Structure 1
Amino acid sequence: MGVLSQYIERPVVEGGAAIATVQVSLIRPVTEAVKPPRALWVPFPLGRPLGPPNRPDIQSDVLRQTLELVDQPSGPALVDYPDNYEDDISAEEGWSCPVTFPTAEPKTESDALRAQLRTEVQLLRPWFDEGLRNRGRTTMGVSGKGVDAISEMLDILVSFSLDADMTVPDGYNEPMPKLLRYLISDIRAFYSEAAISKPGAMFPSPDDLEEWFFLETIAGDVFYQVRERLVSADILVLIANGLDDDEIDGRLALLAGTTSATAEERLRQPGISRELLKAAAEDFKVGDAGRFSRSFVPMTMRDRRSERASFADAK
């Protein structure tokens, strides 16, 4: 964005638009390196450039101070937003999900796992509806279906993760496996919007919300299972293209030694469909190997599946 701002501010004779630009900065070192014409650095976490949720006073103030930068002469100008809202942010540390899930390890049988997920959906749905009434909007729907299809979306992931026979119902925007990326967006939206919808409750930090989803919910563990299937397909494609084990670990952002330790097992793993291998091969051709698997589990949570049991006990 900073580089684009520089281009926009160029005189028309130099190919620009001669329009003043402003922007909000969340990562100061990056902004200092790029040197955009005018930027306001804010002390908020990634994903919250305007400040804490449900604080329109702070959010409007950030917008006001950002727009006021347009009066600054051509920079680069990097202005710090007053860091005096620390109490508002630190108060979020006391967040907890409004729902207490039954303590259970994810089942390995398809029907039992689906039953666990239906329980989660039933417990979360009233809070999702409460949040929808209060906010008047939801980010669900990118897959082509809304909240009434949330159990169906989870069923599709379970079938994919367990190598069960899978028939995708009509009504979705994309076929498998492309549909996966839209399903994960809608499922994460449902869980997150439900979890933050208790009136008067503190908002979680982005890290708290990720830890809760991936370490405490059954759906989070299904995401890990799906990622393993996708990584298997990526590894097979990269092996077929002649990459060695260390190169594959690096290309897929895996822990060192992962490919060498699991290659034989993955080569024998059933359920890696022709369609999935084709999608992985297409990503490799354009230099984007591992795109599906990277999108399923954030980098910060990628190697933390083993913490699920201890995390639940600590809670």
Structure 2
Amino acid sequence: MSVLSQYIERPVEDGGAGIATVQISLIWPVTEKIRPPRALWVPFPFGRPLGPPNRPDVQLDVLRQTLGLVNQLTAPALVDYADDVEDDFTLEEVWSCPVTFPDIEPKNELESLNAQMRTEAQLLMPWFDEGLRARGRTTFGTSGRDANSIPEMLGILAEFALDARMTVPEGYAHPMPQLLRYIAADVRAFYTEAAISKPGAGFPSPEELEEWFFLHTVAGDVFYQVRDRLVSVDMLVLIAHGLDDDEVDSRLVLISGTTAGMALDIVRDRGPNRELLKVSASGSTGFPTGRFSRTIVPTTMQDRRRERTISTSAR
């Protein structure tokens, strides 16, 4: 964005648009190095460039100060946000999910897994509805369906996780496995928007929400299983293209030695889905081989699945 703003501000005769630009910066050293024409640095966490949730006064002030930089005659200009709202991020109480899920571990049987996720969805639905009523908006909907389809979406993920089922249910516009990406986005939106909607609770950080979803919900574990299924197929495709084990680990952003330890077991015990292999090999997911799986589980959480077992053992 910083580089683009420099291009936009160029005079028309130099190939630009001659339009003044402003932007918000979350990382001072990076912005200082790239030197955009005008930027407002804000002291807020990633994902919250406008400030704390439920503080429209702060958010509007950030926007006003950012847009006000357009009157800054000298460029480049990197200006600090002229306010101190750090106390807004100090929670009066430690955040916890408003719903306590049944203390059960997911099993391999599809019906059991679906039943557990339906229970989660039923417990979260009232809080999701409350959040939608209070905020008047939602990020849910990338799959093209509404929140009433959550049980069906969870079932699609479970079927793929266990059997690599590639059938696209009626009513969805995207093919498999690309559909998984859109369903995963909607499922996470449903869970997180429900989790933050309990009145009076401290507002969680993005990291807390991420850890809660992936380490403490059945749906989060299914996401790991979906990712493992995708990674296993990508692994075979890359090996078939002549990459050695270390190169495959690097391409898939895996811990060193993962491919060496998994490849034989994947072929012998699990068996790849032939249709899925074709999709991965053709690159028709829209991502280079090895990157599509990272749209299901973020890089920050991909190596933390074992913490679920540790957490369960401690109870």
TM over 0.5: yes
State the Cα distance separating 1:218 from its structure 2 match.
0.3
Question: CA distance change for structure 1 residues 164 and 298 in 2, over 3 Å: closer, same or farther?
Answer: closer
Aligned residue in 1 for 2:11: 11
Aligned-partner Cα distance in 2 for 1:91–1:192: 18
Cα deviations by residue, 1:177-212 (Å, 9 ceiling, x for unpaired) = 110110101100110110011123221100000000
Q: In the alignment, which residue of structure 1 is the partner of 2:161?
A: 161
**Partners of 1:54 and 1:85 in 2: CA distance:** 13
Equivalent residues in 2 for 1:1-315, closer than 5 Å? 1-82=1-82, 84-91=84-91, 94-163=94-163, 167-270=167-270, 272-283=272-283, 288-311=288-311
Asked if the contact 1:41/1:80 (under 8 Å) is kept, the reply is yes
Q: State whether residues 177 and 275 of structure 1, in contact with CA within 8 Å, keep that contact through their aligned partners in structure 2.
A: no
Moved more, 167-176 or 201-210: 167-176
Determine the C-alpha separation between the residues in 1 that align with 2:260 and 2:314: 34
**1:42/1:49 contact within 8 Å kept:** yes
| CA distance 1:288–1:28, shift in 2 (3 Å) | farther
Query: Structure 1 307/5 Cα, relative in aligned 2: closer, same or farther at 3 Å?
Result: same
Instruction: Return the offset for 1:270.
Output: 3.8
Q: Distance in 1 between matches of 2:229 and 2:272?
A: 7
Question: How far is the alpha carbon of 1:90 from its aligned partner?
Answer: 2.2
Tell me the secondary structure at the aligned position of residue 250 of structure 2.
helix
The answer to whether the Cα contact below 8 Å between 1:44 and 1:51 also exists between their aligned partners in 2 is yes
User: Cα 1:141–1:28, aligned 2, differ >3 Å: closer, same or farther?
Assistant: same
Q: Supply the distance in 1 between the matched residues of 2:83 and 2:108 (Cα, whole angstroms).
A: 48
**RMSD after superposition:** 2.0
Q: Is contact 2:166-2:176 (8 Å) kept?
A: no
Rounded Cα–Cα distance in structure 2 between residues aligned with 1:93 and 1:299:
29
- State the alpha-carbon separation in 2 of the partners of residues 63 and 241 from structure 1: 50
- Tell me the alpha carbon deviations over residues 153-179 of structure 1, each in whole angstroms, 9 at most, x when there is no partner: 000111111117564321112021110
Conserved 8 A contact 1:43-1:83: no
**Separation of aligned partners in 1, 2:93 and 2:231:** 34
Structure 1 267/284 Cα, relative in aligned 2: closer, same or farther at 3 Å?
A: farther
1:98 and 1:198 in contact (8 A); partners too: yes
SS in 2 for 1:78: strand
Give the AA of the match of 2:245. D
Rounded Cα–Cα distance in structure 2 between residues aligned with 1:123 and 1:38:
47
Which residue identity does 2:86 align to in structure 1?
Answer: E
Number of paired residues? 315
Return the alpha-carbon distance in structure 2 between the equivalents of residues 267 and 77 of structure 1: 57
Provide the C-alpha distance between the structure 1 equivalents of 2:108 and 2:290, rounded to a whole number of angstroms: 25
Does structure 2 retain, via aligned residues, the 8 Å contact 1:163–1:271?
no
C-alpha displacement of 1:30: 2.0
Instruction: Give the TM-score taking structure 2 as reference length.
Output: 0.94
CA 1:93–1:40: 2 relative to 1, 3 Å: farther
Cα–Cα, structure 1 residues 134 and 285, in superposed 2: closer, same or farther, change >3 Å? closer
Output one character per residue of 1:20-75: Cα deviation in whole Å (capped at 9) or x when no partner.
00000112222122111111111111111101110111101111111111111242
Decide whether the 8 Å contact of 2:21 with 2:70 is kept in 1.
yes
2 CA distance for matches of 1:172 and 1:279? 18
In the TM superposition, what is the alpha-carbon distance from 1:284 to its structure 2 partner?
9.2
